[in-house]
Amino acid sequence: MSLSDKVLAVNDNLPIRTDLPVHSGKVRSVYWLTDADSRRLIKEKNYDVSEDSPLAIMVISDRISAFDCIWQGEGGLNGVPGKGASLNAISNHWFKLFREQGLADSHILDIPHPFVWIVQKAKPVMIEAICRQYITGSMWRAYTKGERDFCGIQLPEGLEKDSKLPELLITPSTKGILTGIPGVPEADDVNITRQNIEDNYEAFNFKQKSDINLYEKLLQEGFDVISNALASIDQIFVDTKFEFGYVKDAQGNDKLIYMDEVGTPDSSRIWDGPAYRDGKVVENSKEGFRQMLLNHFPDPDILLNKNRMDERLALARDNELPQEVLMEVSKTYMDIAEKITGEKIQLSENPKAEIIEILADQYGLVD
């Protein structure tokens, strides 16, 4: 079996029973179960949700996205071996730690396969909740241009690239295109201030104003739990993105939970501790792949300039990356996953066939 057979590049064509179109994101696809199947599984599996909660099957892929594009490799290698399983394993590990330490729940109810989550429907808060412990990336780029106001936070003079910030900063941006919010541009992923959120909390899907404090508390707690655990294996949690949403519990009450993935190399920057102390930054996250792309193409502005999106999409579509580049990314993901979880990441021989078999035999979700 070839390497490309072990990669799950297409994950929106599984024969899972659903009445709705499959929602396919950059990396995950979501299959909303029928009302009958949702109710049956809640009963059979004793999930701690209200009996009429809509459930979905979320299937991760091995696709790799960067700069809002999906990238492909030579020889039909349209994903990174082990990436999907590594991301899910890391998220599962952190969510388990959150539960053990009394933090909020996540939307995950069950993990039938390393690529698959069964989740309950959540109403997302329309914020990419970003925490930063070091100055790098977009914050550093803004800082070098003389910007000192970042998401309404005043940055001090004299900061150096990749240095630790005086305190953990919460620098939110919009999730999706939000319309009609004063002072917030109608574009995806634009930086916003806490004041923007307070003044328009309902537009961001908060149920009540006091939940802004709760989301910040969960953000800080989640960051600290992951940061401390990574420090114990001499890795540095640089910055990360969390997402939150509301679900109904078994009694029908709204509760704010963590959703999507947490503390993964896709949603976070993780640096190697020993290398950092030696004055070098070694990325154990997707940032290394982003830097490689910036160095690989002669005009990096295409990747950084949002006004050149058509050229960027063409670049990703028309350029197959060398296989060794994707294998290097594979090693980064699998190594950090094994460090974090303490367990070996196994490459599936045929992930799609395995997923179909499990969802058919153990969950009755395939016709």
Q: Can you spell out the DSSP letters for 264-328?
A: -TTTEEEEEHHHHHTT---B-STHHHHHHHHHHSS-THHHH-GGGHHHHHHHHHH-EEPHHHHHH
Q: Are residues 264 and 145 in the same domain?
A: yes
Q: Which residues sit opposite 60 in a β-bridge?
A: 28
CA 146 to chain centre: 30
Condensed to tens digits (0 to 9), the pLDDT of residues 94-122 reads 999 999 999 999 999 999 999 999 999 99
- Tell me the C-alpha distance between 166 and 151, whole Å: 16
Q: How confident is the model at residue 1 (pLDDT cuts 50, 70, 90)?
A: low
Q: Are residues 65 and 139 in the same domain?
A: no
pLDDT greater at residue 367 or residue 136: 136
Contact present, 200 and 182 (Cβ < 8 Å): yes
Condensed to tens digits (0 to 9), the pLDDT of residues 25-37 reads 999 999 999 999 9
Contact present, 11 and 29 (Cβ < 8 Å): yes
- Tell me the C-alpha distance between 93 and 109, whole Å: 14
Please indicate, yes or no, if residue 317 is contained in any of the structural domains: no
Please indicate, yes or no, if residue 222 is contained in any of the structural domains: yes
Q: Are residues 133 and 268 in the same domain?
A: yes
Rounded to an integer, the average pLDDT of 263-283 is 97
CA 195 to chain centre: 25
Please indicate, yes or no, if residue 217 is contained in any of the structural domains: yes
Q: Are residues 132 and 242 in the same domain?
A: yes
**pLDDT reading at 88 higher than 80:** yes
Condensed to tens digits (0 to 9), the pLDDT of residues 53-80 reads 999 999 999 999 999 999 999 999 999 9
**pLDDT reading at 5 higher than 90:** no
Condensed to tens digits (0 to 9), the pLDDT of residues 232-259 reads 999 999 999 999 999 988 888 899 999 9
Q: Are residues 236 and 156 in the same domain?
A: yes
DSSP states along 61-84: -S-EEETTEEEEEGGG--S-TTHH
Q: For residue 251, what pLDDT is reported?
A: 84
Q: For residue 117, what pLDDT is reported?
A: 98
* R_g of the chain, CA atoms, integer Å: 21
Integer CA distances (angstroms), 21 to 14, 33, 35, 119, 122, in order:
12, 11, 15, 17, 18
Contact present, 50 and 250 (Cβ < 8 Å): yes
Please indicate, yes or no, if residue 115 is contained in any of the structural domains: yes
Q: For residue 356, what pLDDT is reported?
A: 97
Please indicate, yes or no, if residue 294 is contained in any of the structural domains: no
**pLDDT reading at 3 higher than 90:** no
- Among 277, 302, 330, which residue terminates a domain? 277
Condensed to tens digits (0 to 9), the pLDDT of residues 305-342 reads 989 999 999 999 999 999 999 999 999 999 999 999 99
Condensed to tens digits (0 to 9), the pLDDT of residues 124-137 reads 999 999 999 999 99
- Among 246, 277, 308, which residue terminates a domain? 277
Q: Are residues 54 and 30 in the same domain?
A: yes
Rounded to an integer, the average pLDDT of 284-298 is 93
Q: Are residues 109 and 136 in the same domain?
A: no
What are the residues whose beta carbons fall under 8 Å from the beta carbon of 297, sequence distance 6 or more? 303, 315, 319
Q: Are residues 145 and 80 in the same domain?
A: no
Condensed to tens digits (0 to 9), the pLDDT of residues 159-214 reads 999 999 999 999 999 998 999 999 899 988 899 999 999 999 999 999 999 999 99
Q: Are residues 157 and 118 in the same domain?
A: no
Q: What is the CATH number of the domain that holds 137?
A: 3.30.470.20
Q: Are residues 218 and 96 in the same domain?
A: no
In this structure, what are the phi and psi dihedrals at residue 317, rounded to the nearest 5 degrees?
A: -70, -40
Please indicate, yes or no, if residue 312 is contained in any of the structural domains: no
Q: Is 147 left (phi over 0), alpha (psi -120 to 50) or beta?
A: beta
Query: What is the span of the domain harbouring residue 147?
Result: 125-277
∠ CA 42-46-48, rounded to 5°: 80
∠ CA 38-39-40, rounded to 5°: 90
- Tell me the C-alpha distance between 125 and 142, whole Å: 26
- Tell me the C-alpha distance between 5 and 348, whole Å: 9
Integer CA distances (angstroms), 201 to 126, 169, 180, 194, 246, in order:
10, 20, 13, 10, 14
- Among 258, 277, 296, which residue terminates a domain? 277
Q: What is the CATH number of the domain that holds 353?
A: 3.30.200.20
What is the three-class DSSP state of 254? strand
Reported as type and span, the H/E element at residue 256 is strand 254-259
- Find where tokens 């994950």 sit: 11
- Residue 134 corresponds to which tokens in the numbers above? 């070091």
Please indicate, yes or no, if residue 297 is contained in any of the structural domains: no
Q: Are residues 102 and 192 in the same domain?
A: no
| Whole-prediction pTM | 0.94
Q: Are residues 93 and 117 in the same domain?
A: yes
What are the residues whose beta carbons fall under 8 Å from the beta carbon of 294, sequence distance 6 or more? 300, 303, 304
Please indicate, yes or no, if residue 164 is contained in any of the structural domains: yes
**pLDDT reading at 46 higher than 90:** yes
Percent of the chain having pLDDT more than 90? 92
Considering its fold, how many domains does the chain have in total? 2
